[in-house]
Amino acid sequence: MTKTNGRRLRGERARAEILTRSARIASIDGLEGLSIGRVAAEAGVGKGNIQVLFGDKESLQLATLEKAVELFHATVIFPAMNKKTALAKLLALVEGWFDFVERRTLPGGCFVNAVSSEYRARQGRIHDRIVEHRVATRERYRRLITDAKSTGELRADVDVEQLVFDLVANEAVANVAALMEESEEFERARSTSLGRIRESIPLPKRKRPQVPRRSSKGRAKDLSS
């Protein structure tokens, strides 16, 4: 390994360690609660180090946001997306979100939900990046629901936008409830989200009233066999 590579590697490790700490701080106190001085003190390094590694406060805040999103990707999204079907992915994503918050993977729960509230009425780069993450979250749900409809895992008459909205609304209320120790509210959010998905699943064919249909030969065959 060359000298330069070694230095870069050490820099990357230091950066990652500092961001792990800053993400934990900001998940509780908000991205506005981050200051170079505070992060330096809690990470046990000099303020100069933080400045060399991140530049100004806003860059530290942006890097912290990305670190927190990365953690959610690794813990929840990546394993969910490895499931086989669109419905399995969707369920794993929803369950994964509630588990992530319940287990305090970050002490303040879901980072994007928290900073969405913090930056809802502010302008600037941080606000804009949060909006992008919000859009991506909804788009992920939208795509999975649409896919699950097209494969028949979800009913054809499911209102995609309404289901996306319901899932996102339940997460918004649950992220506050979890930390406020309103566990009943948190559990209701989880069961409401899973319930909305479950009621969108077509009933199994066998449970339908066994009236023979004349129009479909295939169907008649099934029933007679």
Binding region for its own copies (CB under 8 A): 27-30, 32-33, 107-109, 113-114, 116-118, 120-122, 131, 134, 161-162, 165-166, 168-170, 172-173, 175-176, 178-180, 182, 185, 188-189, 192
- At closest approach, how far in Å is the CB of 55 from its own copies? 24
Q: Give ∠ CA 33-39-45 in degrees, rounded to 5.
A: 170
- At closest approach, how far in Å is the CB of 7 from its own copies? 37
- Please identify, using beta-carbon distances, which residue of 49 and 192 lies nearer to its own copies: 192
User: What number of other Cβ atoms are within 10 A of residue 116's Cβ?
Assistant: 18
- At closest approach, how far in Å is the CB of 108 from its own copies? 5
- Please identify, using beta-carbon distances, which residue of 120 and 213 lies nearer to its own copies: 120
Q: Give ∠ CA 178-184-186 in degrees, rounded to 5.
A: 35
- At closest approach, how far in Å is the CB of 198 from its own copies? 15
Q: Give ∠ CA 210-213-217 in degrees, rounded to 5.
A: 120
The residue among 78, 111, 113, 108 whose CA lies nearest residue 96 is: 78
- At closest approach, how far in Å is the CB of 123 from its own copies? 11
- Please identify, using beta-carbon distances, which residue of 103 and 122 lies nearer to its own copies: 122
- At closest approach, how far in Å is the CB of 179 from its own copies? 4
The residue among 193, 188, 28 whose CA lies nearest residue 114 is: 28
Name 167's Cβ contacts closer than 8 Å, sequence gap at least 6.
94, 141, 193, 196, 197
- Please identify, using beta-carbon distances, which residue of 92 and 130 lies nearer to its own copies: 130
- Please identify, using beta-carbon distances, which residue of 69 and 189 lies nearer to its own copies: 189
**Which residue's entry shows tokens 């913090």?**
118
How far is 200 from 153, CA to CA, in rounded Å?
Answer: 9
- Please identify, using beta-carbon distances, which residue of 78 and 165 lies nearer to its own copies: 165
